[in-house]
Structure 1
């Protein structure tokens, strides 16, 4: 499928879905829409991913099948400045895909335009209607289950999940990512955005996801939030308990010391954070933090290498920056 990705004034740093699709998606991205960077190309700001032109509006996009909203702002609301592009996409008969808490299908104008132009509105965060509480059975699956966890939101849990999957596949294993957020769902075409699920059913939703794939050697459950986050620790706990993992991978941004957006809250010392995750997992699984993933994108090569080594020593397990250095054998061995 050929798509355009909307990322107004957010690409690449605050357009997680856009970057995820460019790096891991199977769709051909024919344009990124960002009025602030119009006239450039993806490769100018984001190397080693699918390249595409950056344009100012949907009017500048070549023929595509769908427009994907590539931004998910805090709170997941729809920004009215995006309306002209969504409207233009629907008028062209393009489907529109979004992972917002504000559902496209609740917008009367979008519903009308979709009906008039035979287009589809896809709300990736809309959960199934038949979810239930967890039964505590995820630990019975045959696959090795690994859950990525973080010291904060946006520490690279989704990226780590796909990089681990790809490294395992290169080794000949049947490996899959279990998507628990809108970006993972957009990339893989399945999954449940757990942060939209009723709290009582959240662990059950993750349990269902883990039990869905058949005959896999490795399932990498995409983590969300962080246990020490004052706002999003609930979804983290649901994923941790619902997935009943065999191993945990701790993700962190190099040099970050406080919770983004909640700067009065310090990130706990890394060795203490490892203990918190392991103790909270303990009631449902014996999972331990067996590897670390570090985002060093803000550092040069020498400083990045030093930061990874420091992170490895702090955790006491193998570590890597999966985007810069991939997932070396020692890291994958530790995870498996």
Structure 2
């Protein structure tokens, strides 16, 4: 199926509808709001969606698939990306109900729903598709360093932790660059980005030896663009996800990095024994790790100031700019013009 054709999405976020647990739901609603007709979460049914996650005003929250049918949905999208990517047991009924009511399934879980015999039979019986977004293409090569030979400007987002705003920052940079007339492309490297963009490779589902090759392929397949805004994954100091971060860094061979950070976060999410390291340390570390493949510099600091007032966020931005001597902003609160100024100064 063409995953981006005339979609009317119902997003499944059962019992986990918040900014971080339902990151996939939040991001799809933020960037594809016109396609979303309802969200399923019995805990918050009837409430104002935007008051819970900050976006999606007017989109109803309902308790089950049956309540969405009057909205003529075409697809059920799994709206969470939990650690390990497994399917919560209580969600099976929602998925089977969707299939029985002629809805395709879109999933970014590590578990392939297309391998589930019950789901597969229902999909076949009703001539439906199950799109497991994380399944990578079969033609991923080993990395060769060829990305650095391309003329396109490659900007990669990196982070002080996971789930901190790398994808949002990359999309906002792409959109802002386009508004300035730059031929820019968002390069999705995770399941949520792929659901939004309609293309990409979920690099966390690629065999480790081929991660840099996947990143390189994403660049080489898009050399017609002047600017590639590449979605980062993980964090280089993360005990679980540092490998994918390094593979992306070396495979995409960026000329510039945007470091993403959440000021109020003091330890790695889900890893309370690991403190968030100083920005100055992370800047130096990322630049040194990039150096052997292709030298690059951190161009700016993207701050996720969710939960902070605008005034407090502005004070934090000033503090970070003084500390790092780099432009800083919250992309959602204040836009990314500072980053675009820095990026345009090095466009080929």
| Inter-partner Cα distance in structure 2 for 1:312 and 1:193 | 32
Structure 2 counterpart of 1:331, from 333, 339, 343: 339
Structure 2 partner of 1:159: 168
* Per-residue Cα deviation, 1:133-190 (whole angstroms, up to 9, x for no partner): 1111011222110000000001100000011011101101111111000000000110
1:111 match: secondary structure: helix
**Could you tell me how far 1:41 is from its partner in structure 2?**
3.1
**Equivalent pair of 1:7/1:71 in contact (CA under 8 Å):** yes
1:93-132 alignment runs, 5 A limit: 93-132=102-141
- Equivalent position of 1:53 in the other structure: 60
Contact 2:301 2:327 (8 Å CA) reproduced: yes
Residue correspondence of structure 1 range 59-208 to structure 2 within 5 A: 59-61=66-68, 62-208=71-217
Of residues 15, 25, 38 in structure 1, which corresponds to 2:22?
15
Counterpart secondary structure, 1:235:
helix
The 3-state SS of whatever aligns with 1:119 is coil
1:298 to 287, 302, 307: 307
Verify the 8 A CA contact 1:178 1:222 in the aligned structure 2: yes
- Paired position in structure 2 for 1:25: 32
2:201 counterpart SS class: coil
Q: Secondary structure at the match of 1:176?
A: strand
Change (3 A) 1:132 1:2: same
Q: Which residue of 1 aligns with 2:257?
A: 248
SS in 2 for 1:17: helix
Q: 1:288–1:51: structure 2 CA closer, same or farther, 3 Å change rule?
A: farther
Q: Post-superposition shift, 1:314?
A: 2.4
CA apart distance, 1:49? 4.5
CA distance in 1, matches of 2:54, 2:203: 30
Shift of 1:271: 0.3
Shift of 1:48: 5.0
Q: Report whether the alignment pairs 1:6 with 2:12.
A: yes
Corresponding residue number in structure 2 for 1:228: 237
The size of the alignment, in residue pairs, is 335
CA–CA distance in structure 1, aligned partners of residues 58 and 184 of structure 2: 26
The aligned counterpart of 2:46 is 39
Q: Where do residues 210-229 of structure 1 align in structure 2 (5 Å cutoff)?
A: 210-229=219-238
Unaligned runs of 5+ in 1: none
2:247 and 2:80 map into 1 onto residues whose CA distance is: 24
Give the TM-score of the pair, scaled to structure 1. 0.97
- Indicate if the aligned counterparts of 1:78 and 1:102 stay in contact, CA closer than 8 A: yes
Report deviation, 1:60. 1.0
Asked if structure 1 preserves the Cα contact closer than 8 Å seen for 2:29 and 2:55, the reply is no
Please say if 1:257 is aligned against 2:266: yes
* Inter-partner Cα distance in structure 1 for 2:325 and 2:58: 38
- Could you tell me how far 1:27 is from its partner in structure 2? 5.5
2-structure distance, mates of 1:200, 1:47: 39
How big is the shift at 1:50?
A: 6.2
